[in-house]
A = this chain, B = another copy of it.
Amino acid sequence: MEKRKRWSLEDVHQYLSEHDIRISLYRLKIFEYLINERTHPTAEEIYNKLKKEIPSLSPATVYNTLRFFLEKKIVQLVNVEKNEARYDATLSWHGHLKCLSCGRVFDIHIENLKLSGLEGFQVYEKHLDLRGLCPGCAKIKNIKEVEYD
């Protein structure tokens, strides 16, 4: 995975403007968090992180802003866990794996996907969601299994 440059607030400002989105401190910080952390956070996680540096932030703003970003199509919804909406500012085609042990959501590279029987359908969105264990958690689990053999 290539190393990406962190986005400055100025980068975010320009990106939002290019997408006809009015600027506010909250929108800048929320998008900056999504694009630089890339952890697929929930609204609550974003709120808890950002309220430390912006105590005036309200949870409703985070929910509203994320919904607005979805409408503007600058973020995508990651729905790998029922009743847990996560958000991703990376729009390129990739899948997600949620580790059922540590809860983290990882990006998965898709080499190839071939579907059939889609004649007549119009496809607007594709989501590939996996559930399992990340390498760290899988290793721990294997060690535990050996211990109790």
Chain A contacts to B: CB under 8 angstroms: 1, 77, 79-80, 82-83, 85, 95, 97, 100, 106, 108-135, 138-139, 141
Question: Known: A82-B77, A130-B126. Is A139-B120 also a contact (CB below 8 A)?
Answer: yes
A132 and B139 within 8 A (CB): no
The docked-state distance in angstroms from the alpha carbon of A122 to that of B100 is: 10
Give CA–CA (A121, B118) in the complex, Å.
31
Which residues of chain B are near A108, meaning CB under 8 Å?
115, 117-118
Which of B95, B113, B120, B130 is in CB contact (< 8 Å) with A125?
Answer: B130
Beta-carbon contact of A112 and B109 below 8 Å: no
Q: Is the interface of A mostly helix, strand, loop or mixed?
A: strand
| Closest residue of B by beta carbon distance from A135 | B120
24 contacts between A and B (CB under 8 A): A77-B82, A79-B79, A79-B129, A82-B85, A97-B118, A106-B121, A108-B118, A111-B115, A111-B116, A113-B128, A119-B135, A120-B135, A120-B138, A120-B139, A121-B132, A121-B138, A122-B132, A122-B138, A123-B130, A123-B132, A125-B132, A126-B130, A127-B128, A128-B129
Question: Given that A77-B82, A83-B83 are known contacts, is A134 also in contact with B113, CB under 8 Å in the complex?
Answer: no
